[in-house]
Structure 1
């Protein structure tokens, strides 16, 4: 009977069996679960790849927009309204300024100081009275104001545009150059535009694990996978109140330990790292490592799962390359029986084994 313990997990199995089945763990105290070990073989890998492909299909249909709608005026926006040939209607434009302006400027009217859309979405304008402009585009607001002014002015010509965009914002944080609030303006706030305004993603960003929060909904976004599936990230439109989080690659590390040359924590490459790549980055097995006992410990739904690869089996390299690790996986390579026996003897009788070898020589 052999036992392996990984962070409180106990694996028990009998020599010669193809998998190590879980057994009752009576002697190690309560709360230490025993788990079954899933062998990594071609049939299981094929089924796992199909499951991963099904999980990898991202449903971003609710986020995709082919033709973004024009910007709609909102509460807090500041508008610039100029009525041609009527500079006296400009907000805060003194008469002296209008008289001293060049003819071209006087003909178009002196630019106003701005009209603020109040919390009710209303704007007050001379002769036109109180207008509800919130929810209208610039073109619609211009037409409504011209209709009101036509009661007092003959064929009024005016210019209306948003001077300051303050009603709609998104928030972007994480591994970007300039995290913080980004105002939505007349340019559509797509996912690509949001990242660009934040200065772009840093080299430490994990672009495979972006998270978009919209109210109570959370949308995980894998940019490399979206592009592989033919989905243009520029079609993903962000809305007012959205929060975009760009995580660090350090949050999705894989840990490799045991009988490997260089035990370490490995960062995934845009969310992808195979077991073969992990073993290669760790320098491979030490002479004391047992290639038949390469384990991967993973938590699935709060429960531990353990997978075993026999690296000495035919086609083991192909299976290791096909086995994709997930964030926070633990790869562990067990020692051979001889190495374990040597270590146990050395702990019980320090120096005894070396003395015996010296005496034999």
Structure 2
């Protein structure tokens, strides 16, 4: 009689416990029901069963180019901070020669004398100072323009002076490149036609894998972020760097999150630049054979022009066409892949729980019987 009472109590408790045992997450039905309840409450959550190619969203377009696209300036254009070397060539009476124009016998010296002035740095206002000429504006001029200005300024002091101007240090016609590159620092643009791929190569190349890197470009007050793979061999492979740009390569791998009844609950980086849902399911280990429901796999994503519309895509892997549709469904950064919990998992968990509860009693009984024997 006591045994029957105990079994009845266990059976009754089993029916009650099925709804209270812990699980790895909601079932597919619970996901759908709660999303519909949220819609009734005013939250606009779209539920999209992926049953046909029309349910598969288009592949996301690369980020649009958002920076001013200027024509390349002359490669020898002078900018603020440049350091100029000025050499003056004179024949006859030399203004900068540092001595008499006559030789030791008192004759006239017809040789050409060259005098290199101390280096001149272009100030913030674009000016330099030349003896006997004064302050002259050089910002935005080419080296040839500056040579003409200095020569014209010296004509009243020297006999047919010739002037050569070169740059000792180049600041204005350069960019700053940093981050995940082998040689960060200031990089001079030799032709002003170097592409972004060129300047990365000139900086020694990038570190890491291109699929995990983002290119941050600052041009004046504007800023854009591009995937490095799109810059190296994609949409922006011919975009040029411009003097004054600041280029930074950042380690920002694409990731998706895996939750629910699967072998792995974690954030997983993309194995390549473009993945589909089938590849993501495989990377996550698929539905757990003891807990997961292959009919209840969901992908959570914000959609719409502003990426503010909550959307839930439902994949039923018990239907053959879904496998082909999932291969056409492109994964995106920050997607959440959820594996629904199977309802049939509850009785199994109950049996496991009962076994854990009664295992000490069975063990104690066996020990007692052995002692009595």
Structure 2 length-normalised TM: 0.70
Runs of 4+ in 1 over 6 A off after TM superposition: 9-12, 86-90
Which of 285, 307, 329 aligns to 1:323? It is: 329
Q: 2:251 maps to what in 1? A: 248
CA positional deviation for 1:182: 1.8
Q: 1:24 maps to what in 2? A: 37
Q: 1:73 maps to what in 2? A: 78
CA positional deviation for 1:327: 1.6
Residue 40 of structure 1 pairs with residue 50 of structure 2: yes
Q: 2:141 maps to what in 1? A: 136
**CA gap 1:12/1:177 in 2 versus in 1, 3 angstroms:** same
The aligned runs of 1:258-337 (5 Å cut-off) are 258-269=260-271, 271-288=273-290, 289-300=292-303, 301=307, 304-337=310-343
**Any unmatched runs of 5+ in structure 2?**
1-18, 100-110, 362-373
Which of 109, 114, 130 aligns to 1:125? It is: 130
The aligned runs of 1:146-161 (5 Å cut-off) are 146-161=151-166
Q: Larger RCO: Structure 1 or Structure 2 (Cα < 8 Å, ≥ 6 residues apart)?
A: 2
Q: CA-to-partner distance for each residue in 1:3-30, whole Å, 9 max, x for gaps?
A: xxxx9x9898479xxx6572437xxxx9
1:12–1:34 contact (8 Å) kept in structure 2: no
1:39–1:307 contact (8 Å) kept in structure 2: yes
Aligned pairs, number: 322
RMSD (Å), alpha carbons: 4.1
2:28–2:340 contact (8 Å) kept in structure 1: no
Q: 1:182 maps to what in 2? A: 186
Secondary structure, aligned partner of 2:129: strand
2:175–2:243 contact (8 Å) kept in structure 1: yes
2:67–2:224 contact (8 Å) kept in structure 1: no
Instruction: Quote the Cα distance in structure 2 between the aligned partners of 1:230 and 1:331.
Output: 29
Instruction: Quote the Cα distance in structure 2 between the aligned partners of 1:108 and 1:348.
Output: 105
Residue 203 of structure 1 pairs with residue 208 of structure 2: yes
Structure 1 length-normalised TM: 0.72
CA positional deviation for 1:35: 4.2
Q: 2:106 maps to what in 1? A: none
2:83–2:122 contact (8 Å) kept in structure 1: yes
